[in-house]
Structure 1
Amino acid sequence: MTVGGQQRRPVVVLYERIADAIHAGTYPPGSTLPSEPKLAAELGVSRPALREALLLLQEDGLLSVRRGVGRTVNDSPPRRGYEHIQPLEELLSARVRPLLRTVEEPTDFTTQHLLAPAGSSLRFWESVLAGDDAAGALSQEWAAPGDVLEKAHPAFAEALEREPAGASMLAVLVGASRGMELTARSGVGATLLGQRRGEQLGRAAGTPAVLVTQVVRCGEVPVLAAKHMLPTGAPALMVLQSN
Protein backbone atom coordinates (compact mmCIF):
# COMPACT_ATOMS: atom_id res chain seq x y z
CA MET A 1 0.00 0.00 0.00
CA THR A 2 1.43 3.37 -0.99
CA VAL A 3 0.74 7.03 -0.43
CA GLY A 4 2.20 9.69 -2.71
CA GLY A 5 4.31 7.07 -4.47
CA GLN A 6 6.12 6.14 -1.24
CA GLN A 7 5.81 2.99 0.91
CA ARG A 8 4.06 3.77 4.18
CA ARG A 9 5.51 2.63 7.50
CA PRO A 10 4.01 -0.71 8.61
CA VAL A 11 2.91 0.84 11.91
CA VAL A 12 0.93 3.54 10.06
CA VAL A 13 -0.79 0.93 7.87
CA LEU A 14 -1.51 -1.22 10.92
CA TYR A 15 -2.91 1.75 12.87
CA GLU A 16 -5.31 2.53 10.02
CA ARG A 17 -6.39 -1.12 9.67
CA ILE A 18 -7.34 -1.35 13.33
CA ALA A 19 -8.92 2.13 13.40
CA ASP A 20 -11.01 1.28 10.32
CA ALA A 21 -12.09 -1.99 11.96
CA ILE A 22 -13.18 -0.08 15.06
CA HIS A 23 -15.21 2.43 13.08
CA ALA A 24 -16.70 -0.34 10.92
CA GLY A 25 -17.92 -2.17 14.02
CA THR A 26 -15.60 -5.18 13.79
CA TYR A 27 -14.46 -4.18 17.27
CA PRO A 28 -17.56 -2.42 18.66
CA PRO A 29 -17.51 0.10 21.55
CA GLY A 30 -16.91 -1.60 24.89
CA SER A 31 -15.48 -4.77 23.34
CA THR A 32 -12.11 -6.20 24.31
CA LEU A 33 -9.48 -6.74 21.65
CA PRO A 34 -7.88 -10.17 21.30
CA SER A 35 -4.61 -10.69 23.15
CA GLU A 36 -1.49 -9.33 21.48
CA PRO A 37 -0.26 -12.76 20.29
CA LYS A 38 -3.68 -13.66 18.87
CA LEU A 39 -4.24 -10.24 17.25
CA ALA A 40 -0.73 -10.24 15.74
CA ALA A 41 -1.42 -13.68 14.26
CA GLU A 42 -4.83 -12.61 12.92
CA LEU A 43 -3.36 -9.52 11.26
CA GLY A 44 -0.17 -11.22 10.11
CA VAL A 45 2.14 -8.69 11.72
CA SER A 46 4.95 -8.66 14.27
CA ARG A 47 4.16 -8.04 17.92
CA PRO A 48 6.51 -5.00 18.22
CA ALA A 49 4.73 -3.27 15.29
CA LEU A 50 1.34 -4.19 16.73
CA ARG A 51 2.28 -2.89 20.18
CA GLU A 52 3.39 0.46 18.71
CA ALA A 53 0.16 0.81 16.72
CA LEU A 54 -1.93 -0.04 19.80
CA LEU A 55 -0.12 2.60 21.86
CA LEU A 56 -0.90 5.20 19.17
CA LEU A 57 -4.56 4.15 19.19
CA GLN A 58 -4.61 4.61 22.97
CA GLU A 59 -3.08 8.08 22.64
CA ASP A 60 -5.73 9.02 20.08
CA GLY A 61 -8.57 7.94 22.34
CA LEU A 62 -9.78 4.84 20.49
CA LEU A 63 -8.58 2.31 23.04
CA SER A 64 -8.19 2.08 26.81
CA VAL A 65 -6.30 -0.44 28.94
CA ARG A 66 -8.23 -2.08 31.78
CA ARG A 67 -6.24 -3.97 34.37
CA GLY A 68 -7.10 -7.65 34.32
CA VAL A 69 -9.15 -7.23 31.14
CA GLY A 70 -6.87 -5.93 28.41
CA ARG A 71 -7.34 -3.34 25.71
CA THR A 72 -10.93 -2.29 25.17
CA VAL A 73 -12.58 -0.06 22.58
CA ASN A 74 -13.78 3.20 24.10
CA ASP A 75 -17.53 3.68 24.31
CA SER A 76 -17.40 6.77 22.10
CA PRO A 77 -14.25 6.51 19.95
CA PRO A 78 -13.45 9.86 18.29
CA ARG A 79 -14.29 10.19 14.63
CA ARG A 80 -11.39 10.58 12.24
CA GLY A 81 -11.09 13.92 10.53
CA TYR A 82 -11.87 17.58 11.12
CA GLU A 83 -14.80 18.90 13.06
CA HIS A 84 -15.06 22.19 11.15
CA ILE A 85 -14.38 23.06 7.51
CA GLN A 86 -11.65 25.68 7.54
CA PRO A 87 -9.05 26.55 4.88
CA LEU A 88 -5.61 25.18 5.70
CA GLU A 89 -3.97 28.58 5.33
CA GLU A 90 -6.12 29.83 8.20
CA LEU A 91 -5.27 26.85 10.38
CA LEU A 92 -1.54 27.35 9.74
CA SER A 93 -1.61 31.17 9.62
CA ALA A 94 0.16 30.90 6.27
CA ARG A 95 0.14 32.61 2.88
CA VAL A 96 -0.90 30.77 -0.28
CA ARG A 97 1.72 30.81 -3.04
CA PRO A 98 0.25 29.37 -6.26
CA LEU A 99 2.45 26.91 -8.16
CA LEU A 100 0.03 25.62 -10.78
CA ARG A 101 -3.48 26.43 -11.96
CA THR A 102 -4.59 24.11 -14.73
CA VAL A 103 -7.16 21.60 -15.98
CA GLU A 104 -6.39 17.90 -16.08
CA GLU A 105 -7.98 14.50 -16.64
CA PRO A 106 -9.11 12.41 -13.65
CA THR A 107 -6.53 10.48 -11.66
CA ASP A 108 -7.17 7.41 -9.53
CA PHE A 109 -7.58 9.72 -6.53
CA THR A 110 -10.13 12.03 -8.16
CA THR A 111 -11.99 9.17 -9.81
CA GLN A 112 -12.46 7.62 -6.38
CA HIS A 113 -13.31 10.76 -4.40
CA LEU A 114 -15.01 13.02 -6.96
CA LEU A 115 -16.61 10.19 -8.96
CA ALA A 116 -15.17 11.85 -12.06
CA PRO A 117 -15.87 9.88 -15.25
CA ALA A 118 -13.12 9.10 -17.75
CA GLY A 119 -12.58 11.90 -20.25
CA SER A 120 -13.87 14.66 -17.97
CA SER A 121 -11.84 17.77 -17.15
CA LEU A 122 -11.05 18.79 -13.59
CA ARG A 123 -9.71 22.11 -12.41
CA PHE A 124 -6.47 21.48 -10.47
CA TRP A 125 -4.63 23.87 -8.15
CA GLU A 126 -1.24 23.22 -6.57
CA SER A 127 -0.01 25.65 -3.92
CA VAL A 128 2.66 26.06 -1.28
CA LEU A 129 1.51 27.41 2.08
CA ALA A 130 4.32 29.47 3.57
CA GLY A 131 4.82 31.24 6.87
CA ASP A 132 7.33 33.92 7.73
CA ASP A 133 10.29 31.53 7.83
CA ALA A 134 9.69 28.65 5.43
CA ALA A 135 7.18 26.64 3.41
CA GLY A 136 4.86 24.76 5.75
CA ALA A 137 2.70 22.64 3.46
CA LEU A 138 2.02 21.62 -0.12
CA SER A 139 -1.63 21.51 -1.20
CA GLN A 140 -3.11 19.82 -4.25
CA GLU A 141 -6.81 20.51 -4.84
CA TRP A 142 -9.26 19.34 -7.47
CA ALA A 143 -12.76 20.61 -8.21
CA ALA A 144 -15.51 18.38 -9.58
CA PRO A 145 -16.21 18.52 -13.34
CA GLY A 146 -17.76 21.77 -14.55
CA ASP A 147 -21.14 20.27 -15.41
CA VAL A 148 -21.39 18.78 -11.92
CA LEU A 149 -20.57 22.10 -10.29
CA GLU A 150 -23.08 23.98 -12.44
CA LYS A 151 -25.83 21.79 -11.02
CA ALA A 152 -24.60 21.28 -7.46
CA HIS A 153 -22.86 24.58 -6.70
CA PRO A 154 -22.89 27.20 -9.52
CA ALA A 155 -21.53 29.94 -7.23
CA PHE A 156 -18.40 27.85 -6.61
CA ALA A 157 -17.98 27.23 -10.33
CA GLU A 158 -18.22 30.97 -11.01
CA ALA A 159 -15.78 31.86 -8.23
CA LEU A 160 -13.20 29.39 -9.55
CA GLU A 161 -13.20 31.13 -12.91
CA ARG A 162 -11.72 34.23 -11.25
CA GLU A 163 -8.77 32.17 -9.87
CA PRO A 164 -7.91 34.41 -6.89
CA ALA A 165 -4.15 34.19 -6.48
CA GLY A 166 -3.95 34.43 -2.69
CA ALA A 167 -6.47 31.77 -1.74
CA SER A 168 -6.74 28.01 -1.71
CA MET A 169 -9.53 26.27 -3.59
CA LEU A 170 -11.14 25.41 -0.26
CA ALA A 171 -11.13 29.08 0.75
CA VAL A 172 -12.85 29.91 -2.54
CA LEU A 173 -15.43 27.19 -1.87
CA VAL A 174 -16.13 28.42 1.66
CA GLY A 175 -16.45 32.01 0.45
CA ALA A 176 -18.92 30.98 -2.26
CA SER A 177 -21.04 28.87 0.09
CA ARG A 178 -22.73 31.47 2.28
CA GLY A 179 -25.97 29.93 3.46
CA MET A 180 -25.17 26.54 1.92
CA GLU A 181 -24.43 23.39 3.87
CA LEU A 182 -21.04 21.80 3.30
CA THR A 183 -19.84 18.55 4.81
CA ALA A 184 -16.36 17.10 4.71
CA ARG A 185 -14.40 14.01 5.58
CA SER A 186 -10.65 13.97 6.08
CA GLY A 187 -8.09 11.23 6.61
CA VAL A 188 -4.65 11.50 8.15
CA GLY A 189 -1.73 9.30 7.13
CA ALA A 190 2.02 9.43 6.61
CA THR A 191 4.32 9.60 3.60
CA LEU A 192 7.79 10.68 2.49
CA LEU A 193 8.44 13.65 0.24
CA GLY A 194 9.73 12.70 -3.18
CA GLN A 195 12.26 14.68 -5.17
CA ARG A 196 9.76 17.08 -6.75
CA ARG A 197 7.77 17.76 -3.60
CA GLY A 198 10.97 18.11 -1.61
CA GLU A 199 12.17 20.81 -3.99
CA GLN A 200 8.82 22.60 -3.79
CA LEU A 201 9.00 22.67 0.01
CA GLY A 202 12.75 23.23 0.32
CA ARG A 203 13.25 19.87 2.03
CA ALA A 204 15.21 16.69 1.36
CA ALA A 205 13.47 14.08 -0.80
CA GLY A 206 13.18 11.57 2.06
CA THR A 207 11.65 13.96 4.59
CA PRO A 208 8.72 12.37 6.50
CA ALA A 209 5.41 14.20 6.12
CA VAL A 210 1.86 14.04 7.36
CA LEU A 211 -0.58 13.45 4.50
CA VAL A 212 -4.10 14.82 4.92
CA THR A 213 -6.72 13.82 2.35
CA GLN A 214 -9.98 15.73 2.22
CA VAL A 215 -13.30 15.51 0.37
CA VAL A 216 -15.92 18.28 0.66
CA ARG A 217 -19.54 17.76 -0.37
CA CYS A 218 -22.37 20.11 -1.14
CA GLY A 219 -25.39 18.10 -0.15
CA GLU A 220 -24.62 14.60 -1.38
CA VAL A 221 -22.35 15.72 -4.22
CA PRO A 222 -18.55 15.76 -3.79
CA VAL A 223 -17.33 19.10 -5.14
CA LEU A 224 -13.71 19.27 -3.95
CA ALA A 225 -10.97 16.76 -3.17
CA ALA A 226 -7.53 17.60 -1.83
CA LYS A 227 -4.21 16.29 -0.62
CA HIS A 228 -2.15 18.32 1.84
CA MET A 229 1.43 17.38 2.73
CA LEU A 230 2.96 18.81 5.90
CA PRO A 231 6.64 17.87 6.30
CA THR A 232 8.51 17.46 9.55
CA GLY A 233 9.00 20.88 11.13
CA ALA A 234 5.81 22.35 9.67
CA PRO A 235 3.58 24.46 11.95
CA ALA A 236 1.35 22.43 14.26
CA LEU A 237 -2.03 21.46 12.78
CA MET A 238 -4.81 21.04 15.32
CA VAL A 239 -7.09 18.12 14.50
CA LEU A 240 -10.45 18.66 16.21
CA GLN A 241 -12.44 15.55 17.00
CA SER A 242 -15.92 15.06 18.39
CA ASN A 243 -17.89 12.10 19.62
Structure 2
Amino acid sequence: MAASRPRRRPVVALYERIADAVHDGTYPPGSTLPSEPRLAAELGVSRPALREALLLLQEDGLVTVRRGVGRTVSPSPPRRGYERLRPLEELLAGGGTVAVRALLRAVEEPTDFTTQHLHAPAGAELAFWESVLTAQGAAAVLSQEWAAPAEVLRAAHPAFAEALGSPGAGAGSMLAVLAGTAREVDLTAHSQVSATLLGRRRGRQLDRAPDTPAVLVTQVVRAGGTPVLAAKHMLPTGAPALPVLQSG
Protein backbone atom coordinates (compact mmCIF):
# COMPACT_ATOMS: atom_id res chain seq x y z
CA MET A 1 0.00 0.00 0.00
CA ALA A 2 1.38 3.43 -0.91
CA ALA A 3 2.50 5.60 1.98
CA SER A 4 0.20 8.51 2.73
CA ARG A 5 1.53 12.02 2.31
CA PRO A 6 2.45 13.72 5.59
CA ARG A 7 -0.14 16.23 6.81
CA ARG A 8 0.88 19.87 6.94
CA ARG A 9 0.85 21.85 10.15
CA PRO A 10 -2.22 24.16 10.26
CA VAL A 11 -0.13 27.34 10.24
CA VAL A 12 1.85 26.15 7.20
CA ALA A 13 -1.38 25.31 5.37
CA LEU A 14 -2.77 28.74 6.26
CA TYR A 15 0.45 30.40 5.12
CA GLU A 16 0.08 28.68 1.75
CA ARG A 17 -3.60 29.63 1.41
CA ILE A 18 -2.75 33.31 1.83
CA ALA A 19 0.32 33.03 -0.42
CA ASP A 20 -1.85 31.40 -3.10
CA ALA A 21 -4.38 34.21 -2.74
CA VAL A 22 -1.60 36.76 -3.26
CA HIS A 23 -0.34 35.04 -6.39
CA ASP A 24 -3.77 34.43 -7.92
CA GLY A 25 -4.75 38.09 -7.50
CA THR A 26 -7.26 37.76 -4.65
CA TYR A 27 -4.94 40.04 -2.67
CA PRO A 28 -2.98 41.79 -5.48
CA PRO A 29 0.47 43.38 -4.99
CA GLY A 30 0.23 46.70 -3.17
CA SER A 31 -3.24 46.01 -1.77
CA THR A 32 -4.10 46.24 1.91
CA LEU A 33 -5.18 43.02 3.59
CA PRO A 34 -8.45 42.96 5.53
CA SER A 35 -8.19 43.59 9.25
CA GLU A 36 -7.07 40.67 11.34
CA PRO A 37 -10.56 39.87 12.75
CA ARG A 38 -12.16 40.13 9.30
CA LEU A 39 -9.45 38.04 7.60
CA ALA A 40 -9.72 35.36 10.29
CA ALA A 41 -13.48 35.23 9.75
CA GLU A 42 -13.12 35.07 5.95
CA LEU A 43 -10.63 32.20 6.20
CA GLY A 44 -12.46 30.42 9.01
CA VAL A 45 -9.39 30.24 11.28
CA SER A 46 -8.40 31.39 14.74
CA ARG A 47 -6.68 34.73 15.17
CA PRO A 48 -3.57 33.21 16.88
CA ALA A 49 -3.01 30.87 13.91
CA LEU A 50 -3.60 33.73 11.47
CA ARG A 51 -1.20 35.99 13.34
CA GLU A 52 1.56 33.34 13.19
CA ALA A 53 0.99 32.77 9.46
CA LEU A 54 1.09 36.53 8.80
CA LEU A 55 4.38 36.80 10.68
CA LEU A 56 5.86 34.08 8.43
CA LEU A 57 4.54 35.87 5.34
CA GLN A 58 6.13 39.08 6.59
CA GLU A 59 9.47 37.33 7.18
CA ASP A 60 9.37 35.93 3.65
CA GLY A 61 8.64 39.27 2.01
CA LEU A 62 5.06 38.68 0.84
CA VAL A 63 3.52 41.03 3.38
CA THR A 64 4.71 44.30 4.89
CA VAL A 65 3.39 46.29 7.85
CA ARG A 66 2.81 50.02 7.49
CA ARG A 67 2.04 52.13 10.52
CA GLY A 68 -1.44 53.59 10.32
CA VAL A 69 -2.30 51.45 7.29
CA GLY A 70 -1.97 47.84 8.39
CA ARG A 71 -0.67 44.84 6.51
CA THR A 72 -0.16 45.28 2.79
CA VAL A 73 0.90 42.88 0.06
CA SER A 74 4.42 43.59 -1.16
CA PRO A 75 4.59 45.37 -4.54
CA SER A 76 6.80 42.56 -5.90
CA PRO A 77 6.02 39.34 -3.98
CA PRO A 78 8.69 36.58 -4.15
CA ARG A 79 8.08 33.75 -6.60
CA ARG A 80 5.87 31.00 -5.23
CA GLY A 81 7.86 28.12 -3.76
CA TYR A 82 11.06 30.10 -3.12
CA GLU A 83 10.03 31.97 0.02
CA ARG A 84 11.96 29.72 2.39
CA LEU A 85 14.59 28.01 0.25
CA ARG A 86 17.38 29.73 -1.68
CA PRO A 87 20.80 28.53 -2.88
CA LEU A 88 23.85 29.90 -1.09
CA GLU A 89 24.93 31.67 -4.28
CA GLU A 90 21.81 33.85 -4.04
CA LEU A 91 22.02 34.39 -0.27
CA LEU A 92 25.62 35.59 -0.53
CA ALA A 93 25.10 37.66 -3.68
CA GLY A 94 24.02 40.69 -1.69
CA GLY A 95 27.69 41.32 -1.05
CA GLY A 96 28.67 41.22 -4.73
CA THR A 97 29.75 38.52 -7.15
CA VAL A 98 29.80 34.95 -5.85
CA ALA A 99 31.92 32.24 -7.47
CA VAL A 100 31.49 28.51 -6.94
CA ARG A 101 34.72 26.48 -7.14
CA ALA A 102 34.13 22.75 -7.47
CA LEU A 103 36.52 20.76 -5.27
CA LEU A 104 34.93 17.36 -5.85
CA ARG A 105 32.06 15.87 -7.86
CA ALA A 106 31.84 12.18 -7.03
CA VAL A 107 29.67 9.23 -6.00
CA GLU A 108 29.93 8.05 -2.39
CA GLU A 109 28.59 5.29 -0.22
CA PRO A 110 26.36 6.32 2.71
CA THR A 111 27.93 7.79 5.84
CA ASP A 112 26.35 8.15 9.27
CA PHE A 113 25.24 11.65 8.24
CA THR A 114 23.55 10.62 5.00
CA THR A 115 22.07 7.48 6.52
CA GLN A 116 20.45 9.63 9.18
CA HIS A 117 19.20 12.47 6.97
CA LEU A 118 18.59 10.78 3.61
CA HIS A 119 17.65 7.33 4.95
CA ALA A 120 20.20 5.88 2.52
CA PRO A 121 20.56 2.10 2.83
CA ALA A 122 23.92 0.33 2.98
CA GLY A 123 25.44 -0.08 -0.45
CA ALA A 124 23.55 2.86 -1.97
CA GLU A 125 25.34 5.31 -4.26
CA LEU A 126 24.95 9.01 -3.51
CA ALA A 127 26.06 11.96 -5.61
CA PHE A 128 28.44 14.08 -3.50
CA TRP A 129 29.51 17.64 -4.30
CA GLU A 130 32.10 19.61 -2.36
CA SER A 131 32.53 23.28 -3.23
CA VAL A 132 34.06 26.51 -1.98
CA LEU A 133 31.96 29.65 -2.48
CA THR A 134 33.93 32.86 -2.79
CA ALA A 135 32.36 36.23 -2.03
CA GLN A 136 33.93 39.67 -1.78
CA GLY A 137 37.22 38.19 -2.95
CA ALA A 138 37.55 35.65 -0.13
CA ALA A 139 36.53 32.04 0.53
CA ALA A 140 33.21 32.40 2.38
CA VAL A 141 31.66 28.91 2.59
CA LEU A 142 32.80 25.31 2.33
CA SER A 143 29.75 23.41 1.12
CA GLN A 144 29.27 19.63 1.13
CA GLU A 145 26.07 18.33 -0.48
CA TRP A 146 24.66 14.83 -0.96
CA ALA A 147 21.70 13.77 -3.10
CA ALA A 148 19.44 10.86 -2.21
CA PRO A 149 19.93 7.58 -4.13
CA ALA A 150 18.99 7.81 -7.81
CA GLU A 151 15.94 5.55 -7.44
CA VAL A 152 14.60 7.76 -4.65
CA LEU A 153 15.12 10.90 -6.73
CA ARG A 154 13.44 9.37 -9.76
CA ALA A 155 10.35 8.64 -7.66
CA ALA A 156 10.24 11.85 -5.60
CA HIS A 157 11.66 14.42 -8.04
CA PRO A 158 12.60 13.04 -11.49
CA ALA A 159 13.49 16.48 -12.88
CA PHE A 160 16.16 16.90 -10.18
CA ALA A 161 17.54 13.43 -10.90
CA GLU A 162 17.84 14.28 -14.60
CA ALA A 163 19.34 17.71 -13.99
CA LEU A 164 22.05 16.33 -11.69
CA GLY A 165 23.40 14.24 -14.56
CA SER A 166 23.23 16.94 -17.21
CA PRO A 167 26.42 18.50 -18.65
CA GLY A 168 27.56 21.55 -16.70
CA ALA A 169 25.33 20.85 -13.70
CA GLY A 170 28.31 20.80 -11.35
CA ALA A 171 29.29 24.39 -12.11
CA GLY A 172 27.12 25.63 -9.24
CA SER A 173 25.82 24.19 -6.00
CA MET A 174 23.60 21.13 -5.84
CA LEU A 175 20.93 23.22 -4.14
CA ALA A 176 20.95 25.62 -7.09
CA VAL A 177 20.30 22.68 -9.42
CA LEU A 178 17.46 21.53 -7.19
CA ALA A 179 15.89 24.99 -6.96
CA GLY A 180 16.07 25.37 -10.73
CA THR A 181 13.94 22.26 -11.25
CA ALA A 182 11.44 22.80 -8.46
CA ARG A 183 8.81 25.13 -9.88
CA GLU A 184 6.04 22.54 -9.67
CA VAL A 185 7.40 20.55 -6.72
CA ASP A 186 6.60 21.06 -3.05
CA LEU A 187 9.98 21.69 -1.41
CA THR A 188 10.53 22.18 2.31
CA ALA A 189 13.79 22.62 4.18
CA HIS A 190 15.07 22.48 7.73
CA SER A 191 18.37 23.89 8.96
CA GLN A 192 20.30 23.52 12.20
CA VAL A 193 23.08 25.89 13.24
CA SER A 194 26.00 25.14 15.56
CA ALA A 195 29.37 26.65 16.47
CA THR A 196 32.65 24.82 15.83
CA LEU A 197 36.27 25.23 14.68
CA LEU A 198 37.42 24.72 11.11
CA GLY A 199 40.06 22.10 11.80
CA ARG A 200 43.10 21.36 9.66
CA ARG A 201 41.48 20.05 6.45
CA ARG A 202 38.71 22.62 6.26
CA GLY A 203 41.16 25.34 7.22
CA ARG A 204 43.32 24.47 4.20
CA GLN A 205 40.28 24.46 1.92
CA LEU A 206 39.17 27.89 3.13
CA ASP A 207 42.69 29.30 3.51
CA ARG A 208 42.20 29.88 7.24
CA ALA A 209 43.93 28.73 10.42
CA PRO A 210 42.69 25.39 11.84
CA ASP A 211 41.51 27.07 15.07
CA THR A 212 39.34 29.63 13.23
CA PRO A 213 35.84 29.74 14.78
CA ALA A 214 33.09 28.84 12.33
CA VAL A 215 29.36 28.32 12.01
CA LEU A 216 28.16 24.94 10.74
CA VAL A 217 24.76 24.91 9.02
CA THR A 218 23.24 21.47 8.47
CA GLN A 219 20.42 21.46 5.92
CA VAL A 220 17.93 18.84 4.72
CA VAL A 221 15.60 19.47 1.77
CA ARG A 222 12.49 17.38 1.12
CA ALA A 223 10.35 17.02 -1.99
CA GLY A 224 6.80 16.12 -1.04
CA GLY A 225 8.03 14.85 2.31
CA THR A 226 10.89 12.72 0.91
CA PRO A 227 14.46 13.80 1.78
CA VAL A 228 16.27 14.48 -1.52
CA LEU A 229 19.28 16.57 -0.45
CA ALA A 230 21.38 16.90 2.69
CA ALA A 231 24.18 19.40 3.16
CA LYS A 232 26.79 20.80 5.53
CA HIS A 233 27.84 24.42 5.04
CA MET A 234 30.86 25.71 6.96
CA LEU A 235 31.14 29.50 7.37
CA PRO A 236 34.36 30.80 8.99
CA THR A 237 34.57 33.94 11.09
CA GLY A 238 34.78 37.00 8.87
CA ALA A 239 32.71 35.51 6.03
CA PRO A 240 29.89 37.66 4.60
CA ALA A 241 26.66 37.48 6.56
CA LEU A 242 24.42 34.59 5.51
CA PRO A 243 20.70 34.82 6.41
CA VAL A 244 19.36 31.43 7.50
CA LEU A 245 15.64 30.64 7.51
CA GLN A 246 14.45 27.53 9.29
CA SER A 247 11.25 25.71 8.37
CA GLY A 248 9.56 23.04 10.41
TM-score category by the smaller chain? 0.5 to 0.7
Q: Which residue of structure 1 lines up, in the alignment, with residue 63 of structure 2?
A: none
In structure 2, the partner of 1:203 is: 208
User: 144, 164, 167: which one pairs with 1:160?
Assistant: 164
Aligned residue identity for 1:125:
W
Kept in 1, the 8 Å contact 2:84–2:247? The answer is: no
Whether the 8 Å CA contact 1:95–1:166 is kept in 2: the answer is no
Aligned residues: 166
Asked whether 1:130 is paired with 2:134, we answer yes
For residues 247 and 111 of structure 2, the distance between their equivalents in structure 1, rounded to whole angstroms, comes to 32
2:150–2:161 Cα contact (<8 Å) kept: yes
Query: Match of 2:85, as an amino acid?
Result: I
The amino acid across from 2:87 in the alignment is: P
Q: Take 1:196 and 1:164, find their aligned partners in 2: how far apart are those partners?
A: 26
Q: Deviations over 1:127-186 (max 9, x none)?
A: 000013210000000000011111111110110002524310000001011211101111
Question: TM-score, length-normalised on structure 2?
Answer: 0.63
The equivalent of 1:120 in structure 2 is 124
CA distance in 2, matches of 1:89, 1:206: 26
Corresponding position of 2:194: 189
How far apart are residue 119 of structure 1 and its match? Answer: 0.6
Q: SS where residue 110 of structure 1 aligns?
A: helix
Does the C-alpha gap of structure 1 residues 166 and 145 become closer, same or farther in structure 2, counting only changes over 3 Å?
A: same
Q: Equivalent residue for 1:87?
A: 87
Instruction: Name the CA shift for 1:234/1:225 in 2 (closer, same or farther; >3 Å).
Output: same
Q: 1:208 to 1:221 in 2, by over 3 A?
A: same
Q: Which runs of 4+ in 1 moved over 6 A?
A: none
Write out aligned runs for 1:136-151 (5 A): 136-151=140-155
SS at structure 1 position matched to 2:175: helix
Query: Kindly, what percent of the aligned residue pairs are identical?
Result: 68
Check the 8 A contact 1:97/1:165 in 2, yes or no. no
Match of 1:238 in 2: 243
* Preserved CA contact (<8 Å) 1:192 1:208: yes
Partner of 1:33: none
Query: What's the C-alpha RMSD, in Å, of the aligned pairs?
Result: 2.2
Gaps of 5+ in 2: 1-51, 61-82
CA distance 1:165–1:132, change in 2 (3 Å): farther
Superposition pairs of residues 218-233 of structure 1, within 5 angstroms: 218-233=223-238
1:142–1:224 contact (8 Å) kept in structure 2: yes
Q: Which residue, out of 94, 103, 108, partners 1:104?
A: 108
Higher relative contact order (CA 8 A, sep 6+): 1
2:185 to 180, 196, 218: 180
Deviation at 1:230, TM superposition (A): 0.2
- Residue 242 of structure 1: how far off its partner (Å): 8.3
